[in-house]
Amino acid sequence: MATNQKAAVISGDIVGSSFLKPAARRKLQGLLDAFINEFVHEYPDLQVQQYRGDSIQGILTTNRMSVLRLTLLLHSFLIQYAYKMRLAVGVGDISYKTKQVITSDGSAFQASGPFLDALVKSGEIISIAGDNDDFTSEWQVHSSSLNYHIQHWSIQQAEAVYMQLREMTQEEIAQKLKIKQPSVYYRLQAAGWHVVHKILTRFESVIPTL
């Protein structure tokens, strides 16, 4: 169906999926299913489809400004269980929409899919691009900053970042993890949260104007 709807697309694939043993693959599938089910309820416009076994593609329309937060949530969620995904965010529109996410098309898809392929070659795990050169130039720089921090997250740091992205306070995180608040602070500092948060805030302020 032809359309012209603003959208944000996430394309992703599992890092090292061919080396996962069956038990690890089943565990990963359960984690992905749980994550998707939770956030489909939180974002009613979120559509996600898994394909080729180790790849996913998702669309956000009404809540497209939340796409980077959702991407960071998925990164921090999976790292807690020692898994990683390459995730490419594309911001643009949907010009052709079908019942299946992976057969739809538009500039948001074209800004996501090719950049996912580029991540495979670069070894990085996050990319943000759009349907114009100025946006893409700026956000590829931010992508590099995010990649540096995400690639260095420990399991404990990813756990703290995930909870901050869920807008929990440091005191609430401390209670949840059964540690002291200063320990939460130091985990977030080590994870580069101050940089990640600034980039996320910038993204969420820019997207509604596009």
Q: 178-198: per-residue pLDDT in tens?
A: 999 999 999 999 999 999 999
Count CB atoms within 10 A of the CB of residue 199: 20
Kindly indicate whether the domain formed by 2-153 is annotated with CATH number 3.90.1150.10: no
Predicted confidence at residue 86, as pLDDT, reads: 97
Amino acid at 14: I
Predicted confidence at residue 128, as pLDDT, reads: 97
- Domain extent listing, the chain: 2-153
Kindly report the average pLDDT of the chain as a whole number: 92
d(CA 29, CA 100): 20
Look at 21-30, 90-99, 159-168 and tell me which has the smallest mean pLDDT.
90-99
Non-local (6+) Cβ contacts of 92 within 8 A are: 6, 7, 9, 106, 107, 108, 109, 110, 111, 130, 131
Q: Name the percent of the chain lying above pLDDT 70.
A: 96
| Residue 3 pLDDT grade (very low, low, confident, very high; cuts 50, 70, 90) | low
pLDDT surpasses 60 at 19: yes
Predicted confidence at residue 102, as pLDDT, reads: 67
Q: What is the pLDDT of residues 44-62, one digit of tens each?
A: 999 998 887 788 999 999 9
Higher pLDDT, 100 or 66: 66
Look at 58-67, 82-91, 104-113 and tell me which has the smallest mean pLDDT.
104-113
Residue 86 forms beta bridges with which residues?
A: 13
pTM confidence score: 0.94
3-state helix, strand, coil in the chain (%, to 5): 60, 20, 20
Q: What is the pLDDT of residues 32-48, one digit of tens each?
A: 999 999 999 999 999 99
Q: What is the pLDDT of residues 127-136, one digit of tens each?
A: 999 989 999 9
Predicted confidence at residue 54, as pLDDT, reads: 82
Beta sheet of 85-96, edge-to-edge order: 47-51, 55-60, 2-14, 85-96, 126-130
Predicted confidence at residue 13, as pLDDT, reads: 94
Helices (H), 82-210: 107-122, 133-151, 155-165, 170-177, 181-190, 193-206
Higher pLDDT, 200 or 1: 200
Mean pLDDT, residues 107-115? 88
Contacts 24+ apart (CB under 8 A), 97-104: 97/1, 97/3, 97/5, 98/1, 100/49, 101/47, 101/48, 101/49, 101/57, 101/58, 101/59, 102/49, 102/51, 102/57, 104/59
Token pair of 180 as six digits: 């002291």
pLDDT surpasses 60 at 2: no
Predicted confidence at residue 103, as pLDDT, reads: 65
